[in-house]
Amino acid sequence: MSSTTRPAPAAPRSRRRLLLGLLTVFLLLLAAGVAGLYWVDYDLRHPKADSGRPGAWMTVDRDEVSGFAHVTVPVSAEDVRWGYQNGFQDDFAVLAFRIPQGELEEYKGSLAASGWADTKYVPQIDLDGFQHIGVPAPSTTSPLTCGDFYTLGKAKNIGTRVCVASRSDGTSQVWVSAVHTP
Protein backbone atom coordinates (compact mmCIF):
# COMPACT_ATOMS: atom_id res chain seq x y z
CA MET A 1 0.00 0.00 0.00
CA SER A 2 1.30 3.24 -0.87
CA SER A 3 0.32 6.29 0.94
CA THR A 4 0.16 9.60 -0.75
CA THR A 5 0.31 12.79 1.12
CA ARG A 6 -2.15 15.28 0.10
CA PRO A 7 -1.62 18.98 0.56
CA ALA A 8 -3.79 20.70 3.14
CA PRO A 9 -6.99 22.11 1.81
CA ALA A 10 -6.67 25.68 0.50
CA ALA A 11 -9.91 26.88 2.06
CA PRO A 12 -8.49 28.44 5.27
CA ARG A 13 -5.98 30.51 3.28
CA SER A 14 -8.67 31.67 0.87
CA ARG A 15 -10.95 32.65 3.76
CA ARG A 16 -8.15 34.61 5.38
CA ARG A 17 -7.48 36.51 2.16
CA LEU A 18 -11.18 37.15 1.71
CA LEU A 19 -11.51 38.46 5.29
CA LEU A 20 -8.43 40.69 4.90
CA GLY A 21 -9.80 42.01 1.61
CA LEU A 22 -13.22 42.76 3.14
CA LEU A 23 -11.61 44.41 6.17
CA THR A 24 -9.46 46.58 3.89
CA VAL A 25 -12.47 47.62 1.81
CA PHE A 26 -14.43 48.40 5.01
CA LEU A 27 -11.62 50.55 6.41
CA LEU A 28 -11.26 52.44 3.11
CA LEU A 29 -15.01 53.10 2.98
CA LEU A 30 -14.97 54.23 6.60
CA ALA A 31 -12.08 56.63 5.93
CA ALA A 32 -13.84 57.99 2.84
CA GLY A 33 -17.02 58.50 4.85
CA VAL A 34 -15.23 60.40 7.60
CA ALA A 35 -13.44 62.59 5.03
CA GLY A 36 -16.74 63.23 3.27
CA LEU A 37 -18.40 64.31 6.50
CA TYR A 38 -15.50 66.67 7.18
CA TRP A 39 -15.91 68.37 3.80
CA VAL A 40 -19.69 68.53 4.10
CA ASP A 41 -19.35 69.99 7.58
CA TYR A 42 -17.00 72.74 6.29
CA ASP A 43 -20.00 74.86 5.29
CA LEU A 44 -21.44 74.49 8.77
CA ARG A 45 -18.16 75.60 10.36
CA HIS A 46 -17.51 78.43 7.87
CA PRO A 47 -20.89 79.89 6.88
CA LYS A 48 -21.09 82.28 3.97
CA ALA A 49 -21.46 85.99 4.71
CA ASP A 50 -25.06 87.16 5.14
CA SER A 51 -26.33 83.57 5.32
CA GLY A 52 -27.85 84.31 8.73
CA ARG A 53 -26.34 81.09 10.04
CA PRO A 54 -24.39 81.06 13.31
CA GLY A 55 -20.87 82.38 12.76
CA ALA A 56 -21.76 84.33 9.61
CA TRP A 57 -20.60 87.91 9.31
CA MET A 58 -23.63 90.00 8.42
CA THR A 59 -23.93 93.16 6.35
CA VAL A 60 -25.26 95.80 8.73
CA ASP A 61 -24.70 99.53 8.77
CA ARG A 62 -22.48 101.45 11.15
CA ASP A 63 -25.40 102.82 13.16
CA GLU A 64 -26.69 99.30 13.90
CA VAL A 65 -23.28 98.23 15.22
CA SER A 66 -22.94 101.44 17.21
CA GLY A 67 -26.42 100.92 18.69
CA PHE A 68 -25.70 97.27 19.53
CA ALA A 69 -22.49 98.25 21.37
CA HIS A 70 -24.07 101.36 22.96
CA VAL A 71 -21.13 103.45 21.74
CA THR A 72 -21.43 106.59 19.64
CA VAL A 73 -18.96 107.30 16.88
CA PRO A 74 -17.79 110.94 17.10
CA VAL A 75 -18.34 113.19 14.10
CA SER A 76 -14.58 113.75 13.88
CA ALA A 77 -13.87 109.99 13.61
CA GLU A 78 -11.77 108.82 10.69
CA ASP A 79 -11.27 105.38 9.13
CA VAL A 80 -14.43 103.97 10.73
CA ARG A 81 -14.80 100.21 10.27
CA TRP A 82 -17.33 97.80 11.70
CA GLY A 83 -18.52 94.21 11.61
CA TYR A 84 -21.37 92.15 13.01
CA GLN A 85 -21.31 88.38 13.46
CA ASN A 86 -24.47 86.36 13.92
CA GLY A 87 -23.90 83.88 16.74
CA PHE A 88 -25.56 80.62 17.69
CA GLN A 89 -26.74 82.15 20.96
CA ASP A 90 -24.86 85.43 21.23
CA ASP A 91 -24.20 88.01 18.51
CA PHE A 92 -20.86 89.82 18.36
CA ALA A 93 -19.95 93.27 17.01
CA VAL A 94 -16.68 95.11 16.47
CA LEU A 95 -16.13 98.77 15.68
CA ALA A 96 -12.86 100.65 15.16
CA PHE A 97 -12.03 104.27 14.34
CA ARG A 98 -9.49 107.03 14.89
CA ILE A 99 -10.12 110.38 16.61
CA PRO A 100 -7.83 113.36 17.28
CA GLN A 101 -5.73 112.83 20.43
CA GLY A 102 -7.13 115.99 21.97
CA GLU A 103 -10.62 114.45 21.99
CA LEU A 104 -9.63 111.13 23.59
CA GLU A 105 -10.18 112.01 27.26
CA GLU A 106 -13.51 113.69 26.53
CA TYR A 107 -14.59 110.66 24.49
CA LYS A 108 -13.59 108.22 27.25
CA GLY A 109 -15.55 110.34 29.73
CA SER A 110 -18.68 110.11 27.55
CA LEU A 111 -18.68 106.31 27.81
CA ALA A 112 -20.24 104.32 30.63
CA ALA A 113 -17.03 102.31 30.87
CA SER A 114 -15.41 101.87 34.24
CA GLY A 115 -12.16 100.41 35.41
CA TRP A 116 -9.97 101.93 32.71
CA ALA A 117 -6.63 100.14 32.98
CA ASP A 118 -3.50 99.55 30.95
CA THR A 119 -3.44 96.03 29.58
CA LYS A 120 -1.73 93.83 27.02
CA TYR A 121 -4.32 91.05 26.96
CA VAL A 122 -7.12 91.21 24.41
CA PRO A 123 -9.41 88.14 24.05
CA GLN A 124 -8.90 86.12 20.87
CA ILE A 125 -12.49 86.62 19.70
CA ASP A 126 -11.89 90.39 19.69
CA LEU A 127 -8.65 89.96 17.76
CA ASP A 128 -10.41 87.77 15.17
CA GLY A 129 -13.15 90.38 14.81
CA PHE A 130 -10.72 93.25 14.32
CA GLN A 131 -8.74 91.18 11.83
CA HIS A 132 -11.99 90.56 9.94
CA ILE A 133 -12.65 94.30 9.54
CA GLY A 134 -9.02 94.98 8.61
CA VAL A 135 -7.74 97.09 11.49
CA PRO A 136 -4.49 96.59 13.37
CA ALA A 137 -4.84 94.33 16.38
CA PRO A 138 -5.02 96.20 19.68
CA SER A 139 -2.61 93.73 21.27
CA THR A 140 0.19 95.03 19.00
CA THR A 141 -0.15 98.53 20.47
CA SER A 142 1.42 99.75 23.66
CA PRO A 143 0.34 101.30 25.96
CA LEU A 144 -3.20 100.05 25.51
CA THR A 145 -5.95 101.23 27.87
CA CYS A 146 -9.25 99.32 28.11
CA GLY A 147 -12.52 99.76 29.97
CA ASP A 148 -15.70 97.65 30.12
CA PHE A 149 -19.39 98.28 30.67
CA TYR A 150 -22.64 96.35 30.58
CA THR A 151 -25.96 97.51 29.21
CA LEU A 152 -29.09 95.80 30.48
CA GLY A 153 -31.36 94.54 27.74
CA LYS A 154 -34.82 93.01 27.54
CA ALA A 155 -33.68 89.47 26.78
CA LYS A 156 -29.90 89.70 27.09
CA ASN A 157 -27.34 92.14 28.40
CA ILE A 158 -24.63 93.58 26.19
CA GLY A 159 -21.02 93.47 27.39
CA THR A 160 -18.88 96.13 25.71
CA ARG A 161 -15.09 96.53 25.84
CA VAL A 162 -13.46 99.74 24.63
CA CYS A 163 -9.69 99.92 24.12
CA VAL A 164 -7.79 103.06 23.16
CA ALA A 165 -4.21 103.85 22.24
CA SER A 166 -2.36 106.95 21.04
CA ARG A 167 -0.80 106.86 17.60
CA SER A 168 2.29 108.65 16.36
CA ASP A 169 0.28 110.57 13.72
CA GLY A 170 -1.56 112.66 16.36
CA THR A 171 -4.68 110.50 16.47
CA SER A 172 -5.95 107.90 18.91
CA GLN A 173 -7.15 104.48 17.79
CA VAL A 174 -10.38 103.25 19.38
CA TRP A 175 -11.40 99.57 19.31
CA VAL A 176 -14.87 98.51 20.49
CA SER A 177 -16.14 94.96 20.86
CA ALA A 178 -19.57 94.00 22.13
CA VAL A 179 -21.30 90.69 22.78
CA HIS A 180 -24.56 89.45 24.29
CA THR A 181 -23.94 88.19 27.80
CA PRO A 182 -26.15 86.06 30.05
Residue 163: what residue type?
A: C
Clarify whether residues 18 and 95 are in a common domain.
Answer: no
Asked whether residue 79 is domain-assigned, the answer is yes
Clarify whether residues 88 and 160 are in a common domain.
Answer: yes
- Domain range for 17 is 10-46
Residues in the chain: 182
- The answer to whether residues 55 and 82 touch, using CB atoms and an 8 Å cutoff, is no
Q: Dump pLDDT digits (tens) for 21-72.
A: 888 998 888 888 887 777 666 655 656 665 566 666 778 888 888 888 888 9
Clarify whether residues 94 and 148 are in a common domain.
Answer: yes
Clarify whether residues 14 and 74 are in a common domain.
Answer: no
Q: Is the pTM of this model over 0.85?
A: no
Instruction: Please give the helix or strand (H or E) that residue 100 lies within, else none.
Output: strand 92-100
Clarify whether residues 38 and 61 are in a common domain.
Answer: no
Clarify whether residues 128 and 87 are in a common domain.
Answer: yes
What is the residue-averaged pLDDT of the chain? Answer: 81
Q: Going by C-beta distance under 8 Å and a sequence separation of 6 or more, which residues neighbour residue 98?
A: 77, 78, 79, 167, 171, 172, 173, 174
Q: Phi first, then psi: what are they for 62, rounded to 5°?
A: -60, -40
